[in-house]
Structure 1
């Protein structure tokens, strides 16, 4: 005989009790119904959205990094302050395992003060900046310029005997350009849809070797200029609008350029070139007070955890790079990403303990070749054979795909997913699935609560140039979010106006909230995100 259903059993008991009760009891009015139960607590994503939109502190984090600390060139005093301050923030939020991991980098460098003036044929202050890791002028340097575009060692002979006592203008001046598109914009739906395009990767080891060979040219040029008696160098900014950058890569201890170097705003540089072509060479006065610090050649990544309940050691991870160039305050590149990562940590610190540990990483040395995230991968995730001789500095980034096979380390299986933010302060519009087709429907589901915030796009494309790259390259699910460009690429990226003023608070609140939600989902899902096979060496005949 089939057992009665709970509903049938309850009904039978109720009827028997009614039949057995005295008449007076049967006619007694029924008690008033109990009040309805309170609604169930909001789901975790709703809690994350409420915390991220109503109690956000993301702009407080961004303001301290930019207005208070400022530029954070790797191993500079500003970077050392940022390493300490971000650890303090993680500890204040109650995170555990807060520490820094050091890797070999090179010397610190910063600008104490600088000035570049034209003193002849008329006095005028020029917009200029010392080039990173170039030496000081040791007082005021005054000399005429010579326009001598030198692109390779093949150009040396043409300038032999002509550079003594000169400030050498190394760039071809060009004619300038005017912008044809708005500097500030957001992605249209059509543009977003175009991102969902599969393009096979091109494997070109010979091209990589050619790039490696180019890395020695700055030292060849430096030796030539010194031998020719030049006194300083100047290059033209690659952007108009009086924007400056000052980027360079000679950061190894002891690899000191022989000559002071400055970058001059494009408009000022072209004026110098025109004057030099029309008559007597202009005379410049350069004061460049730059400083080196060789006391600690290690750069440091900052790591912090929200511990999970799973004893397997599995974890998910979010990261952004903490370093910047020296020209501005490193706001959109990448205090914005750092602030959103710290804010995601703050949001998730208010949640129950996750199943898997959630790890937060702030990378160092990204601007010099993703060196911080590369060190984490090589230390914890996977290695490749060490070349002979070993590559150092920027060559580690350029030549990394030459060495096979990939050897997984213990954390390769433990790291469930890595999410990266490094495209400025623009609103998150989606995510790049990095060719992980099985992750696409999962991400579409995770974005569903954020459709009203304009975040829906899952593009199955691969993108490079930032800190998820080496994780993805060894087969770990690693992803970069798609953000509205705003004016990131048009005028802020690596420039002197990359300051807090250009950050968009509403966009950053949205981005931090979505990052927190993705981390929560990845940390608590029943099954980890799908993985792709560990890559093996492609054929060199990859079609173009």
Structure 2
């Protein structure tokens, strides 16, 4: 597309010089020198974040260059050092690793899966994270034996020896009835405006805790029955695979190799097994463990504030990913925005009143473990185990342990902003039920409303790194984002590559993130806080336990 200035001035040198001079004058008004006043902050942030952006370069290095960043994997170790080097190159202070106990490292070297009879056919497959290798190709007939709870074991006892066991119920294929890629509209925002009452259900919590222990029980049963390996079906159609697995702790590694097959391939095998002789499958899962360091590390960097008594504000995104692709939308996007926000603020040369802290979390995909470690170390404690407990048990159990005991640094963290919903444009922020915080959040967002990010909604969000902070009463917030194809295609899948990142959206997000951080760091006001949470009452005190659940 030809730039409009070129069209308007073609053949008119005098006018061209005049327009160039006007543009340079405008640029001079936008440029912000070191030590600029607060009123100039938004202008300088927009200039730096739009005209001098590095967010896509950061994201490309993180994805194409570094690749998957599974917690404690060799790829994650390379990424940790890369991030430290970046923060140091921009002049941030106190750049450091902050470790917590995690478990084993693991990575995929290669994988192949193919049907060898009734005809040869290559299959789309991925090893399930933290499952052992096959140590060369294994070949065997399949048996379709869906098992999702211990009660299913009896049906398959004595029938699995020497087999590759397909453990998922095949189900039927599905065709999407909504666009895979979309942006938020008016009705979407209306749904987010309503305050949602919390629903504390101890029985539902107990059921979730029981489910997370099932994989080890299934593995023990399959091993005792003489099965060679197990296969599960991908939970999405479209030849997408994911490979999530959670047995990363030393002493809890599964005994049998496990792979995930594309749903279309899995159902084909199941149909053939139903209609004729069981197909023969050949699997070669070449994976390896790394036990050189059982700790995972958050990466932390600061821009120091001028008032040591004013506390600090913080932005974060999880740095770790799954191994199916390069972890672009989940969550190189958020990590790149946090890093770019740090670069923007540092490049402006401003000196915020409060320290601004930037954190790239590890272990998010295994249960928000990095942010939980930060809360437990620096903000507040709860009874019971923390480090070393299974991540799923921590994720479901830790927020429901009382009483909460604030640490000395509890009041120092004045605001936390998180990004972890893909590459989509920021449209505003969730107040997370903190209705008293709405006016101040709106005030800080106001300069960026014309960029599409002015909304503050009452609804809350879950499943990412602000959750444990919020659960102990810290003002912690997640941004509203356009969904794009995050939930429909890229989340955790082999399609999560750089190509699905949107440059305009990530530039906008970096500007908004930097703006919110600088506004909250310099504001004379601080966000209202909830009281330190205490044990809630059951939402429905008359509910009976369902024996079928």
Match of 1:396 in 2: 394
Q: Give 2:491's match in structure 1, choosing from 487, 490, 493.
A: 493
Aligned match for 2:404, one of 388, 406, 419: 406
Following superposition, the deviation at residue 389 of structure 1 comes to 12
Indicate whether 1:92 and 2:51 are aligned.
no
Instruction: Look up the match of 2:110.
Output: 113
Residue 224 (structure 1) aligned with residue 187 (structure 2): no
Matches within 5 A, 1:60-459: 60-312=57-309, 314-351=311-348, 352-386=350-384, 391-459=389-457
Q: Distance in 1 between matches of 2:93 and 2:387?
A: 39
Distance 1:309 1:448 in 2: 25
Using structure 1 for the length normalisation, give the TM-score. Answer: 0.91
Residue in structure 1 matched with residue 3 of structure 2 by the alignment: none
Equivalent pair of 1:111/1:130 in contact (CA under 8 Å): yes
Match of 1:516 in 2: 514
| Range 41-50 or range 360-369, more displaced | 41-50
Distance 1:346 1:283 in 2: 55
**Partner deviation per Cα, 1:32-72 (whole Å, 9 max, x = no partner):** xxxxxx98967111111111111000001100110011111
Shift of 1:88: 0.7
Query: What is the distance in 1 between the residues matched to 2:195 and 2:278?
Result: 53
Q: Which residue in the other structure is 1:10 paired with?
A: none
- 2: CA distance between counterparts of 1:431 and 1:541? 27
Give the number of equivalent residue pairs.
507
CA distance in structure 1 between the aligned counterparts of 2:52 and 2:386, rounded to whole angstroms: 53
The SS at the match of 1:482 is strand
Task: Give the superposition deviation at 1:209.
Answer: 2.1
Q: CA deviation at 1:216?
A: 2.1
Cα deviation for residue 391 of structure 1 reads 4.0
Q: Distance in 1 between matches of 2:269 and 2:96?
A: 50
Change (3 A) 1:542 1:54: farther
Residue aligned with 1:350, SS: helix
Contact 2:426–2:482 (Cα < 8 Å) also in 1? yes
Query: Does the residue aligned with 1:102 lie in a helix, a strand or coil?
Result: strand
Alpha-carbon distance in 1 for matches of 2:247, 2:29 = 62
Query: CA 1:313 to 1:453, structure 2 compared with 1: closer, same or farther past 3 Å?
Result: closer
Residue 213 of structure 1 deviates from its aligned partner by 2.0
Whether the aligned pair in 2 keeps the contact of 1:144 and 1:167 (CA below 8 Å) is yes
Contact kept? 2:100, 2:387, Cα under 8 Å: no
Residue of structure 2 equivalent to 1:481? 479
**Bigger Rg over Cα:** 1
| Structure 2 equivalent of residue 460 of structure 1 | 458
Q: TM-score, normalised by structure 2?
A: 0.90
Distance 2:539 2:409 in 1: 33
Coordinate RMSD, CA, aligned: 1.6
> How big is the shift at 1:390?
8.1
State the Cα deviation string for residues 409-440 of structure 1 (Å, max 9, x = none). 12211001000000111000010011111211
Deviation at 1:542, TM superposition (A): 4.6
Contact 1:419 1:480 in 2 (8 A): yes
Q: Displacement, 1:479?
A: 0.3
Q: Secondary structure at the match of 1:375?
A: helix
Structure 1, unmatched stretches of 5+, are 1-37
SS of structure 2 residue aligned to 1:43: helix
Which residue number in structure 1 is paired with residue 528 of structure 2? Answer: 530
> Once the 2 structures are TM-superposed, how far is the Cα of residue 218 of structure 1 from its aligned partner?
1.1
Deviations 1:276-303 (A, max 9, x none): 0111111011111110011111000000
Note if contact 1:387-1:403 (Cα within 8 Å) is conserved in structure 2. no
Does the 8 A contact of 1:383 with 1:407 survive in 2? yes
Alignment pair present for 1:45 and 2:78: no
CA apart distance, 1:211: 1.6
Q: Residues 196 and 433 of structure 2 are in contact (CA less than 8 Å); yes or no, is this contact kept in structure 1? A: no
| Structure-1 separation of matches of 2:148 and 2:29 | 70
Q: Which residue of 2 aligns with 1:8?
A: none
Report if aligned partners of 1:252, 1:393 keep a CA contact under 8 Å in 2: no
Deviation of the 1:518 alpha carbon: 0.2
| Residue from 531, 537, 540 that aligns with 1:539 | 537
**Residues 69 and 356 of structure 1, relative CA distance in 2, 3 Å threshold:** same
Whether the 8 Å CA contact 1:234–1:264 is kept in 2: the answer is yes
Task: Name the structure 1 match of 2:15.
Answer: none
SS in structure 2 of the partner of residue 138 of structure 1: coil
Distance 2:506 2:364 in 1: 21
Can you list the C-alpha shifts for 1:360-393, whole angstroms capped at 9, x where unaligned?
Answer: 0000000000000000000000001125998433
Deviations 1:237-265 (A, max 9, x none): 00000000011110001322111111000
Q: Secondary structure at the match of 1:399?
A: helix
Following the alignment from structure 1 to structure 2, what is the Cα–Cα distance between the partners of residues 476 and 388? Answer: 19
Q: 1:246 to 1:198 in 2, by over 3 A?
A: same
DSSP-derived class of the 1:112 partner: strand
Q: How many angstroms apart in 2 are the aligned matches of 1:128 and 1:174?
A: 18
Offset at 1:454?
Answer: 1.4
SS of residue paired to 2:478: strand
Unaligned runs of 5+ in 2: 1-27, 33-38, 544-549
